Chains A and B, each alone.
Chain A
């Protein structure tokens, strides 16, 4: 056990050393900001659940069933999240971390390394699920007056629940890594889970939940409620934790204790099984992970059609960076599932517009269509922000340890950043316009709205891209093993907040004048002089804001990146 504790020390010391780092002050600000946002989420979850449970309590006869069904669904979701996050974390911790070669050269057994890594992985993959499950349990405790025993049961049940999730994932990872190189498993696993997620998402959309508001379908809803009372599978650990909480809430202490015992014995048995399997298969899997996986697609010699087109770029350095950016992006297999997910989300996004029940609304369809089109500008811009957060914000960080090449090359940091800007601006602008035009066509909006929304989005896209590139350059992380995670950093958060503010301002600035123009044309009237002035000022401000959103972040990024030297 001493060996395991020693192996955990570097992690603990690194964490403690973070508090005595030179840049302590900015760190404190970051912690405060993250802590504040985290607490807001926490409080939000508590409020929502508290209100929902209070509401359920008021439903005669049905309320408790709904509340327990909700708890059961929440626990199944948590379990699925635990498994998913544990698999991803365990893969990195067991097979892909950079320090593993050094650790395996130390005079400790693979079993000790495995155990130390599993403890780290369990903490990393479960702490967030635990923290955000607490407000839900707290709301149940308050609404159902759970008492001390309820909270003690939660604490006693959450630990084995997390251990079971983490142990199951570790077993799966160790077994699969025995046959497949670990680098390939991550891609395959992420890809498969995203396929599953997309299928569920599309299936859910195809069920058209908006029909639940239609009284004609109530017969099926009643059938649905009848199915609520069906108990969960007895083999699922989420059922054991659910049963222990349900028993303690209904005052059956011995029943709660029995299910708690099931959880603990399940965790102990799985822990034993895991160490046995790891002893037999972990090191072989680690050895396999050292070999480079073969490429899925062989390289083509020379330049393809896209390359030939790129040859037309005006300058060598621009061409060099653009070609490099496109090739490294498309060859990184970890990007593929995310692109696939993006396409699926866009399909669902467009499908949502095609099934909007506009004709059943009490508000005039003509008015509603144009209102949706207007709001859609903001919505599409938020979709673009999410994409930028994932793909554009980490673009500078993805240079990684090879950033010396940029610094040593005869190209200014400014040019380097502008190449990044253009490489991402073009596809994003095309995607944005496609989204806007397609949804406008589905909504059959007026020509005025079509022109206004396409022009506004075209103004917003450069700002979003520049904020992604600029702030990504201002807060780079060249050492990260996974640059895509840069978006969860302080800079990433700042990017999302600024983007939301930018989009919000543009939409607010346009709302008033567009409404007056729209109403004037609807009523066949002209605009008053004051309205013309208002319109001109608003649109001038929109243009000014869009220009500032491009210039300022790019300058900030350039300055901060230069100052790194």
Chain B
């Protein structure tokens, strides 16, 4: 469902992402972890089509992002790390805006939008301007809007930032449910417990390169730390990479 081939991004002399090769199958939740400045957000942005790669390709559901960006984006539900929105629209209007962009028909829109807004606890504020929303409410609105068109791929950058524990649990359940129904989820996170709990496979990126890839068990084996949790595995692997 998601194919990254030799994906590379350079900012001037800085190599942010270095020949990244990855694939995520339908129904899989893939966790992308790494230290600050490792290249996670750059990778996510290239996958979402908001940043063009220096080299390599992003293929979503068989569609090359560079060749047919609109087609590819239509299949993605993109959730950025910071929920910047149109502050002068109401929550419901933003949902309508997203529906129009992603081709959700008028017939199904209202029911779907209300259902999502209720799920995310925003229905009572759906006719208030977004400028009055808290950070967490904006984040929940972005997630609601991203799910409106039943995307085949979810690309999400730090989904839990700014959410309260109840919302975190809800988002986790929703992502699991989506994966069960065949949606591929690509998620970057710093919250390693979330990654451990949620992800089928995890990739560790460090200084732009993928240094480890596998299930939690495989990563523990790789780090020769069978009894450790993901945090220790992560620290061990990135430390080794820094020293080498």
Task: Determine whether the beta carbon of B97 is less than 8 Å from that of A324.
Answer: yes
CA distance A320 to B97 in the complex (A): 5
Q: Write out, one digit per residue, whether chain A residues 267-304 have a CB within 8 A of any chain B CB (1) or not (0).
A: 00000000000000000000000001001000101000
Q: Give the contacts of B60-74 with A (CB-CB under 8 A).
A: 69-74
Minimum Cβ distance to chain B for residue A24 (Å): 14
Minimum Cβ distance to chain B for residue A207 (Å): 41
CA distance A143 to B180 in the complex (A): 87
Task: Determine whether the beta carbon of A411 is less than 8 Å from that of B127.
Answer: no
* A interface residues, how many (CB within 8 angstroms): 30
CA distance A292 to B88 in the complex (A): 12
Task: Determine whether the beta carbon of B84 is less than 8 Å from that of A402.
Answer: yes
Task: Determine whether the beta carbon of A328 is less than 8 Å from that of B12.
Answer: no
Query: Of B82, B87, B98, B127, which one neighbours A301 at CB under 8 angstroms?
Result: B127
CB contacts (< 8 Å) of A311 on chain B: these are 106
7 A-B pairs closest in CB distance: A320-B100, A407-B50, A401-B84, A410-B74, A410-B73, A316-B100, A408-B78
CB contacts (< 8 Å) of A317 on chain B: these are 100-101
Q: How large is the interface on B (under 10, 10 to 19, 20 to 34, 35 or more residues)?
A: 35 or more
CA distance A36 to B220 in the complex (A): 65
CA distance A404 to B142 in the complex (A): 12
User: Looking across the interface, which residue of chain B has its beta carbon closest to that of A317?
Assistant: B101
CA distance A71 to B28 in the complex (A): 77
CB contacts (< 8 Å) of B102 on chain A: these are 316, 409-410
Task: Determine whether the beta carbon of A412 is less than 8 Å from that of B70.
Answer: yes
Task: Determine whether the beta carbon of B129 is less than 8 Å from that of A412.
Answer: no
Query: Of B48, B51, B52, B129, which one neighbours A295 at CB under 8 angstroms?
Result: B129
User: Looking across the interface, which residue of chain B has its beta carbon closest to that of A562?
Assistant: B52
User: Looking across the interface, which residue of chain B has its beta carbon closest to that of A301?
Assistant: B127
Binding site for A on B (CB under 8 A): 12, 48-52, 69-74, 76, 78, 80, 82, 84-90, 92-93, 96-103, 106, 127-129, 131-132
CB contacts (< 8 Å) of A400 on chain B: these are 84
CB contacts (< 8 Å) of A208 on chain B: these are none
Q: Write out, one digit per residue, whether chain A residues 406-447 have a CB within 8 A of any chain B CB (1) or not (0).
A: 011111100000000000000000000000000000000000
CA distance A73 to B42 in the complex (A): 58
Task: Determine whether the beta carbon of A299 is less than 8 Å from that of B127.
Answer: yes
- List 24 A-B pairs, Cβ < 8 Å: A292-B131, A299-B127, A311-B106, A323-B93, A323-B96, A323-B97, A324-B86, A328-B86, A331-B88, A401-B82, A401-B84, A402-B84, A404-B80, A407-B48, A407-B49, A408-B48, A410-B69, A410-B70, A410-B72, A410-B73, A411-B70, A412-B69, A412-B70, A565-B52
Task: Determine whether the beta carbon of B48 is less than 8 Å from that of A327.
Answer: no
Is residue A363 within 8 Å, beta carbon to beta carbon, of the partner chain?
Answer: no
Task: Determine whether the beta carbon of B50 is less than 8 Å from that of A404.
Answer: yes
Task: Determine whether the beta carbon of A327 is less than 8 Å from that of B70.
Answer: no
